[in-house]
A and B are shown apart, each in its own frame.
Chain A
């Protein structure tokens, strides 16, 4: 990791998509929490792979297959290093966070959660960390419980110990709320869950993009994130699992690559992580994700974290000055997103007018409907920031919001 000075203008130049106009105005992209833009280094890595190295992995003896396999496994090593995992064998490539959580629910969950058992989630979760557990609970006759959230958007940790019962088989919790930006003190939750013998899955979709994550320090059992939010390609994601956990789990999907040998009577499953990677993987996606990690490490993870923190603080400050605007989520620690509503103006109308000003934000329930219900709203406007965003972007958002107020005056 370099300690070099963070130069946002230089960073922006690395992202070709940002140099365009939308509706005749410079693009202001404030929707990175939905999907982040890609640096040229990532685009080039994918292009290079398909131009020079493309072949199937883990089976050919020819040169291209060897190169493709090396590129794929090198990406796995980069991810392991990025998460500070003990071994690259703890890194499973999946399609994204959603698939990672479904994988754990349907393998670890099906094996360890039975009738009358409990799965604990929280009120901050994205649908991707709710629905797979609902499905599991329905399949095995277990109960889904949730740790509530307070009016600031912080989890009510005082309730944790009572909700961790002798029947709790797993705790699944987000690291950063995609809808409010609340940073969850997952290390403390993990410590308290482990004290009751409960393993923990962390949804890291919104965290890895903003600050360094160390899965060994957190001591989580599973950690999931998506490549496309980490400035990598769509269609690739990561499930980290402690090796002994992964080894105890049955396969997820059946097919090629996940086997050692197949006869019509019996199949011997491959070792981890390959046991969970049936079929031809998204090799170019993994290569692109590896390139994204290289890029972020070149820019400097600590420098990015400092930039993101400062920009969020600025955004919260200037948005607070817009009349009739209410920010949702004033948790103790926040990251990456600011979610708000405007008095008597629906978020969709805000989003449409902002788009005409060249400003891209997300409007809606952010796939977190139970959380929205906690705050008594159906939808919010969400501005999310990344390393390439500037104070000028935030100022353009504020100008756009004044325009919204004019239209609805």
Chain B
């Protein structure tokens, strides 16, 4: 396998793609948004329970490719117990990571999310990796319209 493919489909990505964590609807969620990628028809729903400005619980549901499922799954783990502001900052960092590459961000601070760095070599797949994050932000901001990657 070529090295950029190996970077894209790392073990952690494949694992989260196959067995996504927090693949459920959050009970008593007070934030919710739908994300939609019109290029491929993929869609996902993010549900969040926020208390005192902190994300207490988060889940996602829907269908998508290995990259979008892995990104969503890793995201739910990364933003849990973080404040809304911290989640927004993570959004910015991940967005930079998948569009500009690992050299542009502090990958250590990203923890497990750093496995998404391979996406930057595949411009056609950036939307797969960022769909969950756009949906998270929309849910936190309470935007009513379904979020589209376009």
Contacts and interface: CB of A to CB of B under 8 A. Distances in A.
A356 B4 contact: yes
B14 interface: yes
Interface in B93-140: 122, 124-125, 128
B5 interface: yes
Contacts of B89: none
Contacts of A315: none
Given A346-B65, A408-B66, A379 B40 contact: yes
A346 B66 contact: yes
Interface stretch (A128-136, A146-154, A363-371): A363-371
Contact of B40 (A344, A345, A363): A363
Interface in A352-375: 352-353, 356, 363-365, 369, 372
B41 interface: yes
A23 B2 contact: yes
A138 interface: no
B9 to A, nearest CB: 5
A348 interface: yes
B2, B18, B41: most-surrounded residue (chain A CB, <10 A): B41
Given A23-B2, A348-B128, A352-B122, A369 B8 contact: no
A406 B128 CA distance: 22
A407 B66 CA distance: 11
Given A346-B66, A356-B2, A378 B122 contact: no
A247 interface: no
Contacts of B8: 352
B147 interface: no
A363 B8 CA distance: 18
B90 interface: no
A349 interface: yes
Contacts of B122: 352
B35 interface: no
B63 A407 contact: no
Contacts of A353: 5
Contacts of A346: 64-66
Interface in B37-88: 39-43, 63-67
B contact patch SS: mixed
A345 B2 CA distance: 19
A372 B66 contact: no
Contact of B125 (A23, A352, A378): A352
Interface residues of B, number: 22
B144 interface: no
B26 to A, nearest CB: 23
A145 interface: no
A344 B2 CA distance: 22
Given A349-B67, A356-B4, A408 B41 contact: no
A378 B43 CA distance: 9
A403 B1 CA distance: 8
Nearest to A378: B41
Contacts of B63: 378
Nearest to B127: A348
A372 B40 CA distance: 11
Interface in B1-42: 1-2, 4-5, 8-9, 14, 18, 39-42
A347 interface: yes
Interface string A73-93: 000000000000000000000
A348 B131 CA distance: 14
Interface of B: 1-2, 4-5, 8-9, 14, 18, 39-43, 63-67, 122, 124-125, 128
19 contacts: A345-B66, A346-B66, A348-B42, A348-B67, A348-B125, A352-B5, A352-B8, A353-B5, A363-B40, A364-B40, A372-B41, A378-B40, A378-B41, A378-B42, A378-B63, A379-B41, A379-B42, A407-B9, A408-B66
Given A344-B18, A365-B41, A408-B14, 17 more contacts: A23-B2, A345-B66, A352-B5, A352-B8, A352-B122, A352-B124, A353-B5, A356-B5, A364-B41, A369-B41, A372-B41, A378-B43, A378-B63, A407-B1, A407-B5, A407-B9, A407-B14
Closest 10 CB pairs of A and B: A346-B65, A348-B65, A378-B41, A365-B41, A364-B40, A349-B66, A349-B65, A356-B5, A356-B2, A379-B40
